[in-house]
Chain A
Amino acid sequence: MRHEKLRYGLLSGVLLLIALVVFMLAGLANGLSNGNRQAIDNWQATDVYLAQNANETLSASQVKLADQSLIKGDQTAPLATLSGTLRTAKNAHKTTVSALATTRNSFIMPKIVSGHRINGQNQLLISESLTTDGYKLGQTVRLGTTTKTVKIVGTYASSTYMISPTVYTDIATLNRLKAMPVTSGKQQTVNGFVTKNGQFKTSDHGSLQRLTMATFINKLPGYSAEQLTLNTMIYFLFAIALAIIGIFMFVLTLQKQALFGVLKVQGIGTNHILAALLTQSIAMALIGIVIGLGITVGLAQIMPAGLPFAINWGQFGLYGLALLAAAVVGALLSWRTVANIDPAVAIG
């Protein structure tokens, strides 16, 4: 009996470790994914318009504000970006941020939590998370490489883009920070446009091309490579869990052939034996998964804030079920072995 407990304990332990790694990787994949796209998800936009020659990358795309006239949609917003360093006077605080610029009342402008919306030149909204880094309302800060300054006038619910906290401003201000030649009017340069349910007005696309939001996100630098790597590791772990449970249950079945023969003699059939194996396998997996999940949640609490890690309960549930499915399939792999045990061997 003790022997059995030890064996099942070992299987549970191994499944616990696998579950732990699966959940940690999933958390990291989620964290990285959020870090890259949280701001985009907040826009709730459906498509993006970039310059045709920009290789589907926002930062490489340069179009004129006037090109917006080629697009129609429920809502359309121009978008300009600058990835740079946000710093306070005398460099007291320095943070890498993703600066996003659009028109002052565009639909992608975030909702204000404190302070006010942008209502004049050289104003900046910052992600709430930056307030813990020492930035606050009314502060004059520099952004990028120029010596020009902007003033923080509002904060909004934290968001990130390309793994950096976001800041928002208007297009003219951003163009000034970028030291662009044109800093007002329709001939200003922006990186692209985002819309809700937009499309080209006519077959004249100018120099623009339309991307769905999904394509645009997948083309974020590094995004799909990261996600693919982490997800592939997770899928391999499912296969490893399946193999471990399958082998364990198979060896167990081989070792218990004599016992199963006796059971069959006594009229306890293959289905009952298999049901018992299945119950044990599922119980072991459940214990492993639940403890693995518990440890993951515990670790998430004590992780350094900089580590991109996010729990997505729906996805964790799905991965838990996948591990459980591995336990079910792993036990069922022994079906043939159990079915082939000849009860006559128990007599003799």
Chain B
Amino acid sequence: MTAVLALQQINKQFGHGHTAVTALKDANFEVSAGQFVAIIGPSGSGKSTFLTIAAGLQTPTSGQVLLNGTELATQSEKARLAYRFNEIGFILQSSNLIPFLTVTEQLKLVDKMAKRSFQAKRAQTLLAELALTEVATAYPNELSGGERQRVAIVRALYNDPSVILADEPTASLDTPRSIDVVERLAKEAHQHHKAIVMVTHDQRLIGNCDVVYKIEDGVMTKQ
């Protein structure tokens, strides 16, 4: 199996000299299609830094990020933007959604950005899969926290990216809802043959994961 996303020998330093912080040390990571991978670590361990580098939002101090075998760092800012849009789906802690668009409109926006017409069938299927058919015309503030994160999953899947990056997707949810969201992520990874990377600090959520990486003080180890 070839890796959809691979990070090799990644170092990331903030600042210089005395005050320098090393957020990532010689980190190696890979995820393949159909895999649900968790990265677990305490606050301040470097999880967010890892995600931003993986997504090309920050450049590493040294090391390589390969997305479908292409080195991200050598790409232009514009190409990385397009890459992010086409190849990476994001699920963030909260405020994923645009407050003044309904659930369906969020998906329509994706199509509009991609300059294609609305894929009604695909939207319908995905919304049904995540039990959101009822709230298709609701605004984000009319949804529960769990529903919001499920919409974020639909939104991330909708554009059919190579990899989905989830940054503590359950941070604002209670335990039953957290488990529900993570189970759904696992199911989507396996069913749609997607590479999904979830960052979390919650031990209880990693039961459904195919691979778990532990991160502590910037050092990543595969479990």
Contact = CB atoms under 8 A, between A and B. Distances in A.
Contact of A347 (B51, B78, B85, B139): B51
Interface stretch (A99-107, A237-245, A262-270): A262-270
A258 B78 CA distance: 21
Interface in A259-287: 259, 262-269, 272
A267 B99 contact: no
A267 B81 contact: yes
Interface in B106-133: 113
Could you tell me the dominant secondary structure of chain A's interface residues? helix
A254 interface: no
B86 interface: yes
A73 to B, nearest CB: 65
Given A343-B57, A347-B167, A266 B99 contact: no
Contacts of B83: 267
Interface residues of B, number: 25
Contact of A266 (B48, B85, B141): B85
Contact of A268 (B55, B85, B88, B92): B85
A265 B55 contact: yes
A259 B95 contact: yes
Given A268-B85, A343-B57, A4 B92 contact: no
A343 B53 CA distance: 12
Nearest to B110: A266
Contacts of A265: 55, 57, 84, 90, 92
B90 A266 contact: yes
A46 to B, nearest CB: 58
A348 interface: yes
Interface string B56-96: 01100000000000000000001001111110101010011
A230 B57 CA distance: 53
B166 to A, nearest CB: 11
Given A265-B57, A269-B81, A348-B48, A259 B98 contact: yes
A147 B52 CA distance: 97
Interface in A293-339: none
Given A1-B100, A348-B48, A267 B85 contact: yes
A1 B90 contact: no
A264 B88 CA distance: 12
B193 to A, nearest CB: 22
B57 A344 contact: yes
Given A259-B98, A347-B48, A272 B57 contact: no
Interface of B: 48, 51-52, 55, 57-58, 78, 81-86, 88, 90, 92, 95-96, 98-100, 113, 139, 141, 167
Given A259-B98, A344-B58, A347-B55, 13 more contacts: A1-B99, A1-B100, A4-B99, A262-B90, A266-B84, A267-B84, A267-B85, A267-B88, A269-B78, A269-B81, A346-B92, A347-B48, A347-B52
12 contacts: A1-B99, A4-B100, A265-B84, A267-B82, A267-B84, A269-B78, A344-B58, A346-B92, A346-B95, A347-B55, A347-B57, A347-B167
Interface of A: 1, 4, 258-259, 262-269, 272, 343-344, 346-348
